[in-house]
Chain A
Amino acid sequence: QVQLVESGGGVVQPGRSLRLSCGASGITFSSYGIHWVRQAPGKGLEWVAVISYDGNNKYYADSVKGRFTISRDNSKNTLYLQMNSLRAEDTAVYYCAKDRDIAAAAYYFDYWGQGTLVTVSS
């Protein structure tokens, strides 16, 4: 079955960096766009970024543009999120989520990981 497993979360000081990973199994990873979606404690969902199946197209929410970088290694079935210049408002559970459609992005999320918590605090 499809499994997405995030890792790399933790406590980090404001202004510092962190890299999240998302390992995938049970799918042809290289055929799907993958997203990052976050959820601040007790709050709703916020879409963060997407990378196309081949890594050639990347889009970001305005709130993270210029600070976060999404990437993937299809040979390792792994997605990454490099987060720089972290702020308190980046504190959230970060989920990786598979796009519903093969190849072309549908921007619907049909499989999610369990999430990894990032806490930005001094």
Chain B
Amino acid sequence: EIVLTQSPATLSLSPGERATLSCRASQSVRSYLAWYQQKPGQAPRLLIYDASNRATGIPARFSGSGSGTDFTLTISSLEPEDFAVYYCQQRSDWPRITFGQGTRLEIK
């Protein structure tokens, strides 16, 4: 099983700041990585797939990068609605799909 490790566990920032979230895979997942945002009481929302492709309707302030084992989700300038939990997910080893443990992005 491919283990995805996200860091940091919690990130405290202010609106307008830049957020950088990391996801590291225990072995190469090539570019087969997605990012999701989840707010309390809601289902996750797909943000990024194949490491760097924004999903439909996702604002341009969200961007993804990386390949192999190291990936980054960047939010260029935080809006109040961006404070949430973010998960990475790999599909390289399908059907053994795995998610990271999540990064909580909180208001400082």
Contacts and interface: CB of A to CB of B under 8 A. Distances in A.
Interface of A: 44-47, 50, 59-62, 95, 97, 100, 105-110, 112-115
Interface of B: 34, 36, 42-46, 49, 55-56, 87, 89, 91, 94-102
A112 B41 CA distance: 13
B43 A44 contact: no
Contact of A107 (B43, B55, B94): B94
Contacts of B98: 47
The binding surface of chain B is classed by DSSP as loop
Contact of B49 (A60, A108, A113): A108
Contact of A110 (B46, B87, B95): B46
22 contacts: A44-B87, A44-B102, A45-B99, A47-B97, A47-B98, A47-B99, A59-B95, A60-B95, A62-B96, A97-B43, A100-B46, A106-B49, A106-B91, A107-B91, A107-B95, A107-B97, A109-B34, A110-B56, A112-B43, A112-B44, A114-B43, A115-B43
A100 B43 contact: no
